[in-house]
Amino acid sequence: MHVVITGGAGFIGYRLAEAVLARNDMVDQNGVRRAVDRVTILDQVAPERPLADARVRIVTGDVTERAVLADALDGTPDTIFHLASVVSGGAEADLQLGLRVNLDGTRTLLDLAAESGRRPKLLFASSLAVYGGPQATHVSDATIPTPMSSYGVQKLCCEYLIGDYDRRRLIDGRALRFPTIAVRPGKANLANSSFISAVIREPLAGRETVCPVPDDVPIALMSPGRLIETILQVHDLPTETFGWPRALVLPAVQVTVREMLDALEEIAGPEARRRVTFRDDPKVLPMVRSWPAEVSSARAAGLGITPDRDARTFVEQYAREQGFVS
């Protein structure tokens, strides 16, 4: 079975690759559990930490270029996890870049997947950014998408394309609307939500950080560990069980920065908490307030997908993985 992961050198993509390799087998597009014998990782750069597994092939290049995508798929895709994208802040700052990568690149990938004639599974990393405005404070399966950012518009357009290619039986398409994922290691990226990870990551590393929103602003979160479990769980579902529409709201737990810092103090002490100061950012704050703060999905619950427990879950998972606690 050939698994392709676009954006595979990134934080989520790399973790997903590790999980796929550890599982050894997956349910293919025909509903048959098969051994994973090839994993292709496609990104602009190779992963910082090599994956020591003979099944892994690394393809580097522009993820919008047809030749690069064709090289990665090699005409034999069984599953494609499409994670590569320009994140929210980057897509807002550069409209054409966002359109080229997030929309045009996805369209090219869909065409190549269809041309393979294999009707591969294609799991797409969409986002709760497809919702926006005061009517989207609480999101459920019935909430109508009303994106208020270029990133959200691009993700929604891709969802519609995936649904149509699935309807035509060219792919088995499944779009997952990710909430904000925290806590992310490494340097901050251009995502407008990057401060959520920074208020935990930086103090634990002994560094000060500035939070651009008040500590009582609610945010819908999912942990990296829970996200990877969910992606693989959704992948193995029969296509009829996944159902229609081909986009699924992922459940999230509502937390505030204050709750995250409470958990940080419990785990790392008051000194860590004091490394976080607050200064409202007039660009970031309005966008954060427009995001869904409460997310529920009866459909996801019916598929056995559950949210994280509470704010402490995020801090504990990160602190344990990074060696700050045993």
Q: What are phi and psi of 123, to 5 degrees?
A: -100, 125
The DSSP output letter for 77 is -
131 among known catalytic residues? no
**Cα dihedral: 101, 105, 106, 110 (round 10):** 180
Cβ neighbour number for residue 211 with a 10 Å cutoff: 21
What are the structure tokens assigned to 6, written together? 């676009």
SS3 150: helix
**Quick check: bond before 77 cis, omega within 30?**
no
What are the structure tokens assigned to 58, written together? 């690394």
d(CA 251, CA 307): 5
Catalytic residue selected from 131, 151, 165, 318: 151
SS3 230: helix
User: Which residue, 19, 116, 124, 26, is CA-closest to 77?
Assistant: 116
As annotated, the active-site residues are 151
